Homo-oligomer: A and B are copies of this chain.
Amino acid sequence: MSKIAVLGYGVVGSGVVELFYKNKESILKKIGKDADIKYILDIRDFPDSPYRDKFTRDINDIVNDKEVTIVAECMGGATFAYDFVKACLQNGKNVSTSNKELVAKKGAELLAIAKEKNCNFFFEASVGGAIPIIRPLHKCLAANEISQIAGILNGTTNFILGKMINESMDFDAALKMAQELGYAEKDPTADVEGHDACRKICILSSLITGKHIYPDNVYTKGITDISLKDVKLAEKFGAAVKLIASVRKLENGRIIPMVMPMLVPYDNLMSRVDDVFNAVMVCGDGIDKAMFYGRGAGMLPTASAVLGDVIEQLKNEENGTDLAQSWVDCDNSEILADYKENECRMYFRVSGISEADLENAEIIDNGEEVAFVTARMSIAKSDEFAKSVELRGGSVKSKIAVLDI
């Protein structure tokens, strides 16, 4: 019988255990043989849990148990999780993880160990929660050259922006509500500053280039500067403000991964992705574009993705590794372009200059301040434009890129 170990009995880990036992009958049918969860690793005690006999605090129990063939890592972070996953892989255990921080920071190293030890390192759950994206991207879309990916990859910020859009809450009130509902942490930095979305676009960028793209390589801007005024003016323009994590391949082959709030025009389906839902749009030369939508976080949705990998592993145990979803750690400077090379239309809200000074811009509002959207230009050019506004005695109140996918 194949044995599973679950690392961490927090939200995701307990979801993995719950969903496995809920659907065990059909899961085993799909695997085609018997399987069970043998260990749950956690430093806490769960004396009342029906699974109390499975708990251990010692990773060595798992690492040294030959019966354990697949380990579901649901601890989070890149310290203990890194040590434990590394130890598991080094001992030939296959691993499925929901840990985006771990994959974004240590993916190349862990994939290399997996390759060396002829085992799998799966991470479908690390991007977009329940949404199938890793496997569709590297399997179903394998015939495509991927030119662009853009996604709403953080549910917390999408919830906050949704409250601003639909209920005219300001940022602080919306954040407070997100915290009360458990969607945002007490310290919401990782979400609202875009770090969480950044990790996910690192993973997708690494997948499509084959080279590890690190969080430090990604220009990342969060949503803390977004004002209700801009949200309303975006609406007037026909767009929703969303935190977009994206990567674009330039004609010279270089890529620009970045995270920033963007205006998503209403004719783009992503503008309609509300609440804590996530969506990822992928452009390729065969498919044109495809979008994947679903719950980006949460107990059972994330567990569903972790278990999908576990089932895949157990079903194909004799088939060796499937590391097509792989990349290497190497000098990536040659494939990265400065985010300021990215071209898009640009939304501005300025004061102190008049509409007459604006050529080729689509005026949205012309009151005390002027709001407009420029023609397509590089972000560098838009910075120059902003400077010229200041030189003319004006003041740039905000500047947000318009998504073009």
Contact (A289, B285) CB under 8 Å given A143-B19, A269-B272, A305-B140: no
Set of chain B residues within 8 Å of A27, measured between Cβ atoms: 142-143
Q: Which chain A residues (301-324) contact chain B, with CB distance < 8 Å? A: 301, 303-305, 307-308, 310-312, 315-316, 319-320, 322, 324
Whether A140 pairs with B145 at a CB distance below 8 angstroms is: no
A260-292 interface mask toward B, CB cutoff 8 Å, 1 = contact, 0 = none? 000000000100110000000000111111111
Which one of A124-132, A232-240, A351-359, A364-372 is at the interface? A124-132
Whether A140 pairs with B144 at a CB distance below 8 angstroms is: no
Set of chain B residues within 8 Å of A304, measured between Cβ atoms: 141, 143-144, 284, 286-287
Set of chain B residues within 8 Å of A310, measured between Cβ atoms: 143
Set of chain B residues within 8 Å of A295, measured between Cβ atoms: 287-290
Which of B23, B288, B292, B319 is in CB contact (< 8 Å) with A292? B292
Whether A132 pairs with B290 at a CB distance below 8 angstroms is: yes
**CA of A135 to CA of B292 in the docked complex: distance in angstroms?**
14
Q: Is A26 an interface residue (CB 8 A)?
A: yes
Which of B290, B300, B312 is in CB contact (< 8 Å) with A139? B312
- Chain copies in the assembled complex: 2
Q: Is A294 an interface residue (CB 8 A)?
A: yes
Set of chain B residues within 8 Å of A26, measured between Cβ atoms: 145
Whether A288 pairs with B301 at a CB distance below 8 angstroms is: yes
Give min CB distance, A120 to chain B, whole Å.
13
Set of chain B residues within 8 Å of A392, measured between Cβ atoms: none
**CA of A286 to CA of B131 in the docked complex: distance in angstroms?**
11
Q: Which chain A residues (165-187) contact chain B, with CB distance < 8 Å? A: none
Set of chain B residues within 8 Å of A39, measured between Cβ atoms: none
Q: Which chain A residues (203-236) contact chain B, with CB distance < 8 Å? A: none
Give min CB distance, A239 to chain B, whole Å.
14
Contact (A290, B292) CB under 8 Å given A140-B308, A145-B26, A269-B272: yes
Interface footprint category on A: 35 or more
Considering only CB atoms, which chain B residue lies closest to A142 in the complex? B311
Which of B269, B289, B290 is in CB contact (< 8 Å) with A273? B269
Set of chain B residues within 8 Å of A305, measured between Cβ atoms: 140
Set of chain B residues within 8 Å of A381, measured between Cβ atoms: none
**CA of A130 to CA of B289 in the docked complex: distance in angstroms?**
9
- Output the residue of A269, A287, A298 with the most chain B CB within 10 A: A287
Considering only CB atoms, which chain B residue lies closest to A304 in the complex? B286
**CA of A140 to CA of B129 in the docked complex: distance in angstroms?**
11
Whether B285 pairs with A23 at a CB distance below 8 angstroms is: yes
A103-134 interface mask toward B, CB cutoff 8 Å, 1 = contact, 0 = none? 00000000000000000000010000011100
Contact (A142, B30) CB under 8 Å given A287-B301, A300-B286, A315-B324: yes
A238-274 interface mask toward B, CB cutoff 8 Å, 1 = contact, 0 = none? 0000000000000000000000000000000100110
Whether B30 pairs with A324 at a CB distance below 8 angstroms is: yes
**CA of A23 to CA of B143 in the docked complex: distance in angstroms?**
7
Set of chain B residues within 8 Å of A30, measured between Cβ atoms: 138, 142, 324
Some 24 contacts from A to B, beta carbons below 8 A apart, are A19-B286, A23-B145, A27-B143, A30-B324, A130-B286, A132-B132, A132-B290, A135-B136, A141-B308, A142-B308, A142-B311, A143-B304, A143-B310, A269-B269, A269-B293, A272-B272, A288-B294, A288-B298, A288-B300, A288-B301, A290-B292, A290-B294, A291-B291, A316-B322
Ranked 3 nearest A-B pairs via Cβ: A286-B304, A290-B294, A132-B140
Further 19 A-B residue pairs, CB within 8 A, beyond A291-B291, A291-B292: A19-B144, A23-B143, A23-B144, A27-B142, A130-B287, A130-B290, A132-B141, A143-B303, A272-B272, A286-B304, A286-B307, A287-B294, A288-B294, A288-B295, A289-B295, A290-B292, A290-B293, A290-B295, A292-B292
